[in-house]
Structure 1
Amino acid sequence: MTQTVPLDPGALTPDQARALFRAGLRVPTAGWCTGRTQANLIAVPRDQAYDLLLFAQRNPKPCPLLEVTDPGAVSAPIFPGDLRTDLPGYIVYEHGEPVAEVTDVTEYWRGDLVSFLIGCSFTFEAALADAGVPIRHVEQGVNVPMYRTNRTCRRAGEFGGPLVVSMRPVPAAQVADAVRVTARYPSVHGAPVHVGDPLELGITDLGRPDYGDPVEVRVDEVPVFWACGVTPQAAVAASRPKFAIGHAPGHMAITDARDTHHLVP
């Protein structure tokens, strides 16, 4: 059955959103379930989980861990839904290559998979909006643009690869506000990793993101870049482990945790 996007997805509860995704709705989740924490998902077999855990520990800016499950678990304390069905989109990887993009990974799920829920910058977007900072991808109704950079993450065992960033155009006069607001959310990427010239990150064309959609950058705006939880999937592509499952970039796990849980004074 075809599902339609609710008129006000921000007003939904996490349970309501997860039910829509379980029924097959595929849509980026920026602006959904206002006040609730969103998370990136990456799941790997148990024999690779320690390396991925170490990769996250060594690269906390792009990989702030919110939860790690036991092998085979399909839910988590902050995510009481089903990790196999209750996200709006998944990518299945074999030897680092995407082999399927689906809305349900039940047929691919393995009993030895360890799932990692990693902080997402969508979590602080309501605070940015409250501070008057525009959220262009939400305004345009598209996915946030994400880019692989020339910055290399610290390797851990099998896993290594480039830092991935998300970009939001910010009016020059509000950049300091954007930095101040997001710095108070260190467990969901925190302050930006770069402000200004994308070439310093090896990004040659903002109009061609590696993941997500391009957005308008106006003449009075500065591109601002935050570390992104798609970084582990870039590590999967670079390191080519035998098997992994990740969320489709921008199509997040909506948890029961509140954004305020991640706010520091």
Structure 2
Amino acid sequence: MSITLQPARPSVAARLAIRRGDHPGPTAGLAAGYVQANLAILPASHADDFLKFCVRNPQSCPVLAVSEPGDTALPALGQDIDIRSDVPGYRVFRDGELIAEPDNLDEVWRDDLVTFVIGCSFSFEEALLANGVPVRHIEQGCNVPMYRTSIPTQPAGPFHGPLVVSMRPMLPAQAIRAIQVTSRFPAVHGAPVHLGDPALIGIADLARPDYGDAVAIRDHEIPVFWACGVTPQSVIAATKPPFCITHAPGKMLITDLLNAHLAAL
């Protein structure tokens, strides 16, 4: 009797490629249809306050899962996830200062670390494309541009700081459709927080993003801004916790959840 091996689902195949080091770059466009996520990893002593921060700032920090202290698996999000190796790039902070950008966490992992998995706007981009709305950074093969704003987050315990937004340029009619589409995805940032003049939210120059890459803005297009899961990195810079790990911007955890399952009815 012959046995036919079933191919791994695209999300699993992408994680294995990342784990092997075969995909060190941004994850936008990988494993189409599957939820991608931001990370914030903190000591258990700070986990309760950070969870409160996420609850008070659900548009920028929509929580998809929280691990037990020291647990590197996330069974609710995917098969055989190892949070130490399944993201293309990490950032390690001590007292708010970036001290390392490793491609795995083997040398810095601790038994008291709690992983927060936070929804990512990459998940609603599939729906934007399906509705004829362009996604410029995918067209250009680069990372989404992200900016620190003058909009404050709601503090919790020691955690506070400015909201970070991601930006996608589009024509006004496309922006209206984008609002309609992304409003159905509250678990991955939902509707835009601003569109039009970036100066109104404290952004001085769209050509100089704080994270990611600048993208072309064509004639008659307007910038459209969504709350971004990189916000915890601006909060880390403001609050300077003794130890913290995040993903590198644009380099996400790919889960086995389907984007379609996150859409509100």
TM class, shorter-chain normalised? over 0.9
Aligned to 2:52: 54
How many percent identity over aligned positions?
A: 54
- Select which of 43, 62, 65 maps to 1:64: 62
Alignment of 1:6-85 (within 5 A): 13-24=10-21, 25-76=23-74, 77-79=76-78, 80-85=80-85
Aligned residues: 255
RMSD: 1.1
Q: 1:23 Cα shift?
A: 1.4
Query: How far apart are the structure 2 equivalents of 1:254 and 1:174?
Result: 27
Alignment of 1:31-180 (within 5 A): 31-76=29-74, 77-79=76-78, 80-180=80-180
Q: 1:102 Cα shift?
A: 1.4
Partner secondary structure for residue 118 of structure 1: strand
Query: How far apart are the structure 2 equivalents of 1:106 and 1:37?
Result: 25
Query: How far apart are the structure 2 equivalents of 1:43 and 1:119?
Result: 14
Q: 1:171 Cα shift?
A: 1.2
Partner secondary structure for residue 91 of structure 2: strand
Q: 1:12 Cα shift?
A: 6.9
Query: How far apart are the structure 2 equivalents of 1:56 and 1:175?
Result: 27
TM-score of the superposition, structure 2-length normalised? 0.94
TM-score of the superposition, structure 1-length normalised? 0.94
Would you identify which runs of 4 or more consecutive aligned residues in structure 1 move more than 3 Å? none
Q: 1:85 Cα shift?
A: 0.3
The structure having more radius of gyration, on CA atoms, is 2
Query: How far apart are the structure 2 equivalents of 1:57 and 1:106?
Result: 30
Partner secondary structure for residue 101 of structure 2: strand
Are 1:21 and 1:103, in contact at CA under 8 Å, matched by a contact in 2? Answer: no
Aligned to 1:225: 225
Unaligned runs of 5+ in 1: 1-10
1:42-71 Cα distance to aligned partner (Å, 9 max, x none): 100000000100000110110000000100
Query: How far apart are the structure 1 equivalents of 2:31 and 2:18?
Result: 13
Query: How far apart are the structure 2 equivalents of 1:219 and 1:73?
Result: 49
Unaligned runs of 5+ in 2: 1-7
